[in-house]
Structure 1
Amino acid sequence: MIDVLVVEDNRELGELLCDFLKAEGYQTALAPTGEEGLALARREGARLVVLDVMLPGMDGLAVCRALRQEGDLPILVVSARSEKEDKLAGLRLGADDYIEKPYDVDILLAKIRGIFQRRYERTALRDGDLALDRQRRAATLAGRPLALTAKEFDLLWLLVEHRGKSLRKEWIFDRIWGTDSFSEPQTLTVHIQWLRQKIERDPRHPARILTVWGVGYRFEGEVDEAL
C-alpha cells in the first residue's frame, strides 16, 4: 500500500515532491503518465493521490474520474491552469482539493497532512470484542486489558487498521521496525505468534490474524468501526 501516489510528468518536480514526502514519513511512488498512475493505484493501492492535470495521453481529469468511479480515494489535483472553470471541473469530478502551480511545498504538505489526519488517523479501533485505544496505547479483549509490548500494540493496530487487506511482510516490517531491508524475518513471525496467543481463541487455528502464503498476513475483522 502506497501512502502518497504522485502522478506527475515532470520527473524532476515529481521526485522532489516524493523526497519531501518521504522526509515526512510517507511511503511514495511516482508515475509519469495518467495510465501508469491509474494502473499503479489499482495494483498497489494508495491512500492519497497527488494528481497533475496536464499529463501526456490520459490527462489528470480523466484519471480523477476513473479513480472516483472506483472508490473514495482522496485526490489532490495540482495544475498550472488557474481559471475558475478548470478548478470547478476538478472539484466536480470528485477531487478533494485543487492547488495551482507553482505551489508552495509547505502548503501542499500541510494539505496532505490534513487529509491524512481527517481520513486515517483514528484514535481508537474496535473489532468485535477487541478494542484498541491509540492515545492510551491500551487494548482490551472482552473488556479485559491485554498485556502488549509497544511493538505488539503497533503491529496489532496496523493489522486492524487495514483489516481485510493482505499486507506484505516487507511492508509490515518497514512500518513497525522502520527499515525496508527485512533483514530479520523471524522478528515479525515471532510477534505475530505472540499476538495470536493473546487475541485468538485457538492460536493454532487463528480466525483473526491469518497467514497469506507467499504474501504476508491479513486481519479478518468482524466490525469496521471507529470509536
Structure 2
Amino acid sequence: MTDVLIIEDNMELAGLIRDFLQVEGYSVFTTDSGEKGMKYLAEHTAKLLLLDIMLPELDGLAICRLVREQHNLPILIMSARHGDDNKIIGLELGADDYLEKPFSVNLLTAKVKALLRRSYDMNDDKQLLVDGDIIINRASMQVYKKDQPLSVTSKEYELLVLLVNNKDKVLRKDWLFDKVWGADSFSEPSTLTVHINKLREKIEKNPKEPQRIVTIWGVGYKYEAV
C-alpha cells in the first residue's frame, strides 16, 4: 500500500513534495496525468491523494469526481486557481481539503499528517456501528445502507461516525468542524454544511425533511436514531 499518491504535472514540484514526505517516512508515488493516476488506483491502494486541478486532458476536478465514485480515500486538492468558487466546487465533488498555490511544503506536510490521522486513527474501539439500515464498518471505512455500499468521502465518513457515536446529543457546529477539519484548518466553516447536506442525500429517505441528521437552529446538529 502506498501512503500518498501525487497527481501533479509539474514534476519538479511533485518531486519536491515527494522528497519532503519521504523524509517524514511516507511511501509516495507520483504521476503527471489523471489517466495514469486512475490506472494506478485501479491496480494499487493509496491512503491519500494529492491532486492538482490544472492537468492535461482530464483535469483535477474530473479526477476528483471519478476517484470519489470508485474509492474511499482522503483527497487534498492543490491548485493555482484562487477564489471561493473553485474551493466550493472541489469540496462538493468530494475533496477533503483545498490548498492554493504557491504554498509552503511544510504546511502541505502538516495537512497530509492531519488528514491521515483523522481518516485512519479513530479513537473509539467499536468496529461496527449500526443504526437501522445504516451500518458503518470502521475496519474497512465502509458505510452500508440496506446492505448496499454507499460512496462517501473521508470527511463524510468522519462526520457520520461522530454523529452516530453521539446519538441524540446536540453537537455544536464549531465542535464538529474542529473534530473533523481541525481548529487550524484553512477550510471555511461553511464546508461543514456542504458535507452535512451531502450526507443527508445519501442516508435520508427525504433529504429535505431529514429524520436522522436534524438541524438544531442556531446551535448545530443532532443525530436521531431510527
The normalised TM-score by structure 2 is 0.54
Q: Where does residue 94 of structure 1 map in the other structure?
A: 94
- What is the rounded CA distance, in whole Å, between the counterparts of 2:88 and 2:122 in structure 1? 31
Counterpart of 1:108? Answer: 108
Distance in 2 (alpha carbons) for counterparts of 1:111 and 1:99:
9
Give unpaired runs (5+ residues) of structure 1.
Answer: 128-160, 163-227
Q: Output aligned runs, 1:1-227, within 5 Å.
A: 1-122=1-122
Structure 1: which 4+ aligned runs deviate by more than 4 Å? Answer: 122-127
Residue in structure 2 matched with residue 183 of structure 1 by the alignment: none
Residues of 1 paired with 2:76 and 2:19: CA distance?
A: 18
Cα deviation, 1:94-139, whole Å, max 9, x if unaligned, reads 1000100001111111111111111113568688xxxxxxxxxxxx
Find the aligned partners of 2:73 and 2:119 in 1 and give their Cα distance: 10
Between Structure 1 and Structure 2, how many residues are aligned? 131
- Relative to structure 1, the CA distance from residue 87 to residue 123 in structure 2 (aligned partners, 3 Å threshold; closer, same or farther) is closer
Q: What RMSD, in angstroms, separates the aligned Cα atoms of the two structures? A: 2.1
- Identity across aligned pairs (percent)? 45
In 1: Cα distance, 2:81 partner to 2:91 partner: 13
CA deviation after TM superposition for structure 1 residue 71, in Å: 2.8
Q: Distance in 1 between matches of 2:56 and 2:18?
A: 20
Distance (whole Å) between structure 2 residues aligned to residue 19 and residue 123 of structure 1: 30
SS of the aligned residue for 1:30 comes to strand
Q: Deviations over 1:153-172 (max 9, x none)?
A: xxxxxxxx78xxxxxxxxxx
SS of the residue aligned with 1:3? strand
- Counterpart residue type for residue 77 of structure 2: V
Distance in 1 between residues matched to 2:122 and 2:88, nearest whole Å: 31
In the alignment, residue 41 of structure 2 is paired with which amino acid? A
Task: Name stretches of at least 5 consecutive residues in structure 2 with no aligned partner.
Answer: 128-138, 141-226
Q: Distance in 1 between matches of 2:124 and 2:97?
A: 27
Aligned-residue offset at 1:84: 1.6
Structure-1 separation of matches of 2:4 and 2:126: 26
Partners of 2:91 and 2:31 lie apart in 1 by 22
Summarize deviations over 1:176-216 as a string: whole Å, max 9, x none.
xxxxxxxxxxxxxxxxxxxxxxxxxxxxxxxxxxxxxxxxx
Alpha-carbon distance in structure 2 between the residues aligned to 1:18 and 1:39? 20
